[in-house]
Amino acid sequence: MLPSFEDVTLSIPRPHVLLVTLNKPDKRNAVNSAMDRHLVATWDFYEKSDDLWCCVVTGAGSAFCAGLDLAEIARIKSVGQAADRLFGGFAGLTFKSGLNKPIIAAVNGPAYGGGFELVLACDIILSSTDAQFGLWEVKRGIAPISGGAVHLPRVIGYHNAMLVMLTGRNYTATEMKDFGLVQTIVEPESLLNTALALAEEIAGNSPDGVRVAKACAKVGLELGWDRANVDALLVPEVAAMFAGSNIREGVRAFKEKRPPSWSPPLDTQSWTVWTMGCGLWSLSKWAALTRGTTTTGIFVGGSLAAAAVALYVAKTGRRR
């Protein structure tokens, strides 16, 4: 059963596709603390649902998201209250790590402040022709520190990001496509169907392959090229892919000339996955010795069992 919230609407309009609609059109979908909690619960639900493989997020009414409800800022009276807002990110997503299922932003209207930061936290961005994007924070005496200042330079480059952040201007969908942020622009009436069709296409692929591709891409953004090539193979999603059935099903379906029948990916916390992960780690160490590739160097010796336990603890701790 889908969670039910007054300000966030969830539905499954296509097979294995979750549609998340920000549902406060009278407030231009601005996020207050209650809505933020509901979005945290939404992303946790999506992450833990075996049969949901792709997600689309959009806004009800004429706006995508106007950012943080400014009344929330006015109510902050203590350092503790400020910390709750700062260190939790925006809309439950901008600081969330470990979510390796794809999220498509269907930007149906203005995405300002935190709303823009929410867009940046998504993996693919589709926009209507009348959408606008802006980081207004500098005009309000604050700064885009819920993910915008970190994510935007990685996506559109340092100098373009400085132009966007330091002026606080609004930018059109076309301008953002020129910057490299938006992938596709469509008419407003076609946006949701276009996004859902894309999500259905992605969900039609191996869920293991999709989440491994995202996990490895994230590693590549964080590390140097030589280290990332090896470390990307050590993310638990890779071990789950090799230990699971979808990798064999994909080959069988190709040989038998039929559509594949995908299964939910294995839980990355399972012992089967960690055993496979330990084997991949051993292979990476062998590659480091014989081919000169670079690894994290977490382990320098000891038994395979000890390595498996250490890997399990390290990876589990990193995700908390």
Q: Going along 15-161, which residue ranges are E strands?
A: 17-22, 54-59, 103-107, 111-112, 124-128, 132-134
Count, residues in the chain: 320
Q: Which residues have a catalytic role annotated?
A: 117, 137
Residues near 36 by beta carbon (within 8 Å), at least 6 away in sequence:
88, 90, 91, 92
Q: How many CB atoms are located within 10 Å of the residue 16 CB?
A: 20
Could you give the 3-state DSSP secondary structure of residue 103? strand
* Residue 226 contacts residue 296 (beta carbons within 8 Å): no
* Residue 121 contacts residue 147 (beta carbons within 8 Å): yes
Could you give the 3-state DSSP secondary structure of residue 1? coil
